[in-house]
């Protein structure tokens, strides 16, 4: 079995997969669609971060690929619908870099409130500009969090510990932590707070949710942060709001069009603006977070490849088959229709194959059953199982 790891995934991932007997190829940068399809010839496991897109065309053209691991939070770079259609398991790391993003948000809020960017630039120009003008504590300030998921809710707790008053808005019902106050609409939040930070996910419906209208509605001399997705903000509108002084400062870590590789040229309408912090999508890029992500996602890929375990899969039914004595393990992803399990077991019975253990789970349109047998499964049996009308993917795990 072979694995391909792209985009400088943490070396611990390579160690984990190699120790499991999986051959690992590592490449530093991202690949485009054509390069990726060629590189996946004979590859069973793919590891990516946020720069490599995995479109449906690649998933359909690479039958050996059984699982994709996103070594990051988001999975919007993967065509999940096609992954589900082809029975390709997808895993991510929804929690491992939460703390790193939260710490960067807090650091940015403090730096912007104290105008440390301008003070730093002045000193680098040889100008001693000691002044309290425009410099504020964050204690007592009102922070608005848009998106109250894993990152937004943890940020809420830490910001409150620092003395901030927290307001949040989410399209879903989310339980308030501490003394945070829920806003019914985005406009309600913008009317209240003095700093806005975005922590929304990458779903298509979030595209362009923050533009000229929202910046205009923000209170004068507010702060703005986006550490979520680049395409959710109109950065030309943010440029205007910063240049006019309506927005006092901004911190941006994500951009609509980001360079594929380290060292590539970067452009943005925000370059050169005062009290503006631009970082190259490093919210989750701490050594601690990347090590945790490498361990977590590589472990998921290993367990799926060797045991058929789909716990915390993004798209497949979740199963943990356990360690059962068996001659062979058969993993069968199928359309979730009545009678599939009966047909599968009938085929095994007709070939005198006894079942030692069997677990089944369903999720939406898919079912997933793992069967441990007391004898080896012949090619004839596999052909019969594969010919079932509802079979999506069939895999034998020795």
Reported confidence tier of residue 281, pLDDT bands at 50, 70, 90: very high
The pLDDT value recorded for residue 323 is 87
The verdict on whether 288 is a catalytic residue reads: no
* Candidates 33, 35, 85, 258; catalytic one: 258
Active-site entry in 229, 239, 332, 393:
229
52-72 pLDDT, tens digit per residue, is: 999 999 999 999 999 999 999
pTM tops 0.85, yes or no: no
Structure confidence at residue 334 (pLDDT): 98
pLDDT exceeds cutoff 90 at 204: no
Report whether 216 contacts 187 (CB < 8 A).
Answer: no
- Span 160-166, average pLDDT: 98
pLDDT band at 95 (very low <50, low <70, confident <90, very high): confident
- Is 307 annotated as catalytic? no
Catalytic member of 49, 99, 281, 302: 281
* Residue 322 pLDDT: 87
What was the pLDDT predicted at 261?
79
pLDDT value at position 239? 98
Which domains occur in the chain, in start order? 1-96+286-316 (3.40.50.720), 98-278 (3.40.50.720), 317-398 (3.30.70.260)
Catalytic-residue membership of 287: no
Split at pLDDT 50, 70, 90, the class of 304 is: very high
**Mean pLDDT across 209-229:** 97
pLDDT one-digit tens code per residue, 317-370? 999 998 888 889 999 999 999 999 999 999 999 999 999 999 999 999 999 999
Mean pLDDT for 176-200 is 97
pLDDT at 202 over 90: no
The predicted structure's pLDDT at residue 222? 97
| Alpha-carbon span 275 to 113, nearest angstrom | 9
């Amino acid at each position: 079995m072979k694995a391909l790891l792209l985009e400088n995934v943490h070396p611990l991932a390579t160690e984990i997969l190699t120790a499991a007997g999986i051959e690992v190829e590592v490449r530093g940068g991202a690949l485009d669609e054509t390069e990726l399809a060629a590189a996946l010839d004979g590859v069973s496991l793919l590891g990516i971060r946020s720069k490599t897109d995995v479109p449906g065309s690649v998933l359909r053209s690479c039958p050996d690929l059984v699982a994709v691991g996103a070594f990051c939070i988001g999975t919007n770079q993967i065509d999940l619908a096609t992954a589900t259609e082809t029975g390709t398991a997808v895993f991510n790391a929804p929690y491992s870099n939460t703390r790193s993003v939260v710490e960067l948000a807090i650091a940015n809020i403090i730096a912007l409130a104290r105008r440390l960017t301008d003070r730093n630039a002045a000193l680098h120009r040889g100008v001693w500009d000691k002044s309290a003008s425009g410099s504020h504590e964050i204690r007592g300030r009102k922070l608005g969090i848009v998106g109250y998921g894993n990152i937004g809710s943890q940020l809420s707790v830490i910001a409150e510990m620092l003395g901030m008053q927290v307001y949040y808005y989410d399209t879903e019902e989310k339980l308030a932590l501490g003394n945070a106050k829920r806003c019914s609409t985005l406009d309600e939040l913008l009317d209240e707070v003095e700093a806005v930070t975005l922590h929304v996910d990458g779903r298509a419906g979030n595209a362009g949710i923050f533009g000229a209208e929202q910046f205009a509605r923000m209170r004068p001399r507010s702060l703005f942060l986006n550490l979520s997705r680049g395409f959710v903000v109109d950065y030309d509108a943010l440029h205007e709001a910063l240049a006019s002084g309506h927005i006092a400062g901004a911190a941006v870590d994500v951009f609509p069009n980001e360079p594929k590789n380290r060292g590539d040229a970067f452009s943005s309408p925000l370059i050169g603006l005062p009290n503006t912090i631009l970082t190259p999508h490093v919210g989750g890029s701490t050594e601690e977070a990347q090590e945790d992500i490498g361990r977590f996602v590589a472990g998921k890929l290993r367990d799926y490849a060797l045991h058929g375990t789909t716990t915390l899969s993004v798209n497949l039914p979740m199963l943990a088959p356990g360690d059962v004595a068996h001659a062979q393990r058969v993993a069968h992803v199928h359309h979730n229709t009545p009678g599939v399990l009966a047909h599968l077991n009938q085929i095994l019975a007709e070939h005198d194959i006894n079942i030692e253990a069997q677990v089944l789970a369903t999720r939406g349109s898919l079912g997933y059953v793992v069967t441990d047998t007391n004898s080896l499964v012949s090619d004839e049996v596999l052909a019969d199982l594969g010919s079932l009308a509802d079979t999506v993917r069939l895999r034998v795990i020795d």
